[in-house]
């Protein structure tokens, strides 16, 4: 069964500093990988996704992620964090079973941004 690990429960960065959120996955086949952001009162919003091709994926709000098969990782990065980026971030892996699909989420990383 697939699984996702986000080692960092809580990260604090200063506004303007760079950010990297870690994600490791376990999946037997080529994974579909996602990063979502959850803000209070709002639904999860997709930041970016990887299915195949270029291992460096660009997303919305200036985020990017790099798929590294050898490390089973899909870390999320942003060169300069804004205060509005404070939220909960979830990494997820998608699995197709032929008749259905499911997303398995990591436990999330809460990002705090200090001014």
Partner 1 sequence: GAVVSQHPSWVICKSGTSVKIECRSLDFQATTMFWYRQFPKQSLMLMATSNEGSKATYEQGVEKDKFLINHASLTLSTLTVTSAHPEDSSFYICSASQSSFSYNEQFFGPGTRLTVL
Cα 111–83–47 angle (5° rounding)? 60
Give me the least distance between CB of 34 and partner 1, in Å please.
8
Closer to partner 1 at the Cβ: 14 or 69?
69
Give me the least distance between CB of 18 and partner 1, in Å please.
26
Give me the least distance between CB of 24 and partner 1, in Å please.
14
Q: Give DSSP secondary structure letters for 34-76.
A: EEEEE-TTS--EEEEEE-SS-SEEE-GGG-EEEEEGGGTEEEE
What are the residues binding partner 1 (CB under 8 A)? 9, 32, 36, 41-46, 49, 51, 90, 94-96, 99-108
């Amino acid at each position: 069964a697939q699984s996702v690990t986000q080692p960092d429960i809580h990260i604090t960065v200063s506004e303007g500093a760079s950010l990297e959120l870690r994600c490791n996955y376990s999946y037997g086949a080529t994974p579909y990988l996602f990063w979502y952001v959850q803000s209070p009162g709002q639904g999860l919003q997709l930041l970016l996704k990887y299915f195949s091709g270029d291992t460096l994926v660009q997303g919305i709000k200036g985020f990017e992620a790099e798929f590294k098969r050898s490390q089973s990782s899909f870390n999320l990065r942003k060169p300069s964090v804004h205060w509005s980026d404070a939220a909960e971030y979830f990494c997820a892996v998608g699995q197709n079973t032929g008749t259905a699909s499911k997303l398995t989420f990591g436990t999330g990383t809460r990002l705090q941004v200090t001014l």
